[in-house]
């Protein structure tokens, strides 16, 4: 089981990406499970779950990177014994720290049989100034970006070219090693790249 995080601050487009990405990964012949930690309902409706044979689990009660990390590991153990998905996509809350989740998965790999796939962090190109102006918010977003293996510049279809370039330069200064992918879930730009990375990359940390 490969565990892939789709992280990013609130409103960056995580849920929309997970729906699109899960379909594409399933269409590529991989069995998908989705683990949701965001407040609210499970993001994929019953018809999609049935059509693509997905398993979806909602974990509430706190942030998956700290308060309910134990619940996350029990869920991964249950996945290993039950549906045995090829890929588990985790959607943490918008304020989660991706590296904490990655470390938890790695420390419990022997029990769960899980391997760490790419940590994908979304950055909303329509809100660069807002995300990087306020000190507290900037610290959180910067931490998320630094933890990324792949930085996704989201909502690229809603951004001017100069805004996209500004966003890319800003995130590159925070993380010099991550791959940067420009994404539009409306046009499909960037989706195939992310599917390829999920299918073919296991990140060794």
Domain 2-199 fold is: Rossmann fold (3.40.50)
In whole angstroms, give the CA distance from residue 156 to residue 179: 16
Q: Give whole-number Cα distances, 167 to 90, 161, 173, 181, in Å.
A: 25, 10, 10, 12
34 φ, ψ (degrees, to nearest 5): -120, 130
Question: How much is the pTM?
Answer: 0.88
Collect all residues with Cβ–Cβ distance below 8 Å to 49 and sequence separation of at least 6. 55, 56
Side-by-side strand order, sheet with 2-8: 55-58, 32-36, 87-91, 2-8, 115-124, 150-154, 179-182
List the single range of 72-76, 137-141, 173-177 with lowest mean pLDDT: 72-76
Say whether pLDDT at 204 is over 50. no
Q: What is the mean pLDDT of residues 195-205?
A: 70
- Domain definitions of the chain by residue range: 2-199
CB neighbours (10 Å) of residue 27?
A: 10
DSSP state letter for 95: T
Summarize pLDDT for 128-158 with one digit per residue, the tens. Answer: 999 999 899 999 999 999 999 999 999 999 9
Parallel, antiparallel or unpaired: strands 179-182 and 150-154? parallel
Tell me if 97 sits within 8 A of 127, measured CB to CB. Answer: no
Summarize pLDDT for 13-67 with one digit per residue, the tens. Answer: 998 898 899 889 988 889 999 888 754 545 554 455 556 667 877 776 555 555 5
Strand partners, 90: 5, 35
In whole angstroms, give the CA distance from residue 174 to residue 132: 11
């Amino acid at each position: 089981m490969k565990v892939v995080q789709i992280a990013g601050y609130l409103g960056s487009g995580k849920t929309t990406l997970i729906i699109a990405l899960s379909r594409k990964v399933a269409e590529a012949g991989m069995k998908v499970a989705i683990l949701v930690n965001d407040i609210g309902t499970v993001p994929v409706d019953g018809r999609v779950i049935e059509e693509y044979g997905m398993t979806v689990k909602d974990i509430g009660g706190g942030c998956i990177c700290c308060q309910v990390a134990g619940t996350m590991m029990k869920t991964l153990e249950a996945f290993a014994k039950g549906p045995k998905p090829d890929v588990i996509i985790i959607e943490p809350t918008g304020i989660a720290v991706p590296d904490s989740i990655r470390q938890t998965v790695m420390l419990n790999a022997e029990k769960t049989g899980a391997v760490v796939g790419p940590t994908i962090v979304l950055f909303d190109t329509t809100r660069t100034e807002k995300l990087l102006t306020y000190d507290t918010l900037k610290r959180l977003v910067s931490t998320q970006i630094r933890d990324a293996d792949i930085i996704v510049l989201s909502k690229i279809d809603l951004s001017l070219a100069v805004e996209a370039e500004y966003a890319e330069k800003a995130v590159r200064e925070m993380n010099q090693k991550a791959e940067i992918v420009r994404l539009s879930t409306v046009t499909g730009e960037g989706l195939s790249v992310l599917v390829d990375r999920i299918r073919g990359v296991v990140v060794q940390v």
